[in-house]
Chains A and B, each alone.
Chain A
Amino acid sequence: AQKVTQAQTEISVVEKEDVTLDCVYETRDTTYYLFWYKQPPSGELVFLIRRNSFDEQNEISGRYSWNFQKSTSSFNFTITASQVVDSAVYFCALKGNAGNMLTFGGGTRLMVKP
C-alpha cells in the first residue's frame, strides 16, 4: 500500500519569510513519481512539479525549490520570500509503478500574511 503524509495541516507566516512544507511517503515500488499541486481559493489543483524516483536532484523554479531525499522518503517544498499570493492549500502526491492513480497527502494550508 502507498501512503503520503503531510504532517503540517496549517502554516501561517508573514510575507517575505521562507517556509518549508513537508511531505513523507511510503511505497514498496522501486519506480515511482512524486508531485506537488497547489490549490488556490479558486479551487482547481494546479500542477507544480513531478519528480521520478531515479532523479534525486533538487530543483529550483524561481522562489520555489524542492528537496527529494530517498533515504528519508521525503519530498519537501520550500517557498523563499513568501508572498500573499502563495496562500493556498498544497498537496503532495505519489504515483506508484502500477496503475495511474495518484495517492494524495492530506494537504497543508499555507497562509501568508502581509
Chain B
Amino acid sequence: EAGVTQFPSHSVIEKGQTVTLRCDPISGHDNLYWYRRVMGKEIKFLLHFVKESKQDESGMPNNRFLAERTGGTYSTLKVQPAELEDSGVYFCASSQGTWTVYGKNIQYFGAGTRLSVL
C-alpha cells in the first residue's frame, strides 16, 4: 500500500512568486493534515481536512496560504505570493479516522516538500 506522497520534494522560488504543493494521502484516508517546519523551529500544524471540508484551519499563518481538497482526494497548498519566511519543510499527513475511532486515528506522514524562497 502506498504511503502519503508529496510533490515536489524540493521547490526553489523567488520572493513574490507562487508555489503549489501537492499531497496524495493514503487511499481510503478521509483525514488530511498539513504541517510545516520552518528553520530551527518545531513542526507546526496548519490545517485539517475531513474529506473535502476544512475541519480546522487555525494554524494557517495568513491569507497568502490557500489549501484545497477537491473531491476529498488529494490536496494542494498554494502560497501566493511567497515570502522569505515561508521557507521550510511542508509535511502532509493522513489518518483513516479521527480521535473518536480508536486505532484509526494515527497520522501517517509524507516525506515533505522543502520550500526555499530566495
Chain A residues with a Cβ under 8 A of chain B = 4, 33, 37, 42-47, 50, 91, 93, 95, 99-107
Contact = CB atoms under 8 A, between A and B. Distances in A.
A84 to B, nearest CB: 21
A104 B3 CA distance: 21
B56 A44 contact: no
A25 to B, nearest CB: 13
A101 B112 contact: no
A50 B112 contact: no
Contacts of B59: 101
Nearest to A106: B42
Contacts of A46: 109
B11 interface: no
Contact of A44 (B31, B41, B99, B112): B112
A43 B4 CA distance: 12
Contacts of A33: 99
Contacts of A106: 41-42
A85 B62 CA distance: 39
B45 A37 contact: no
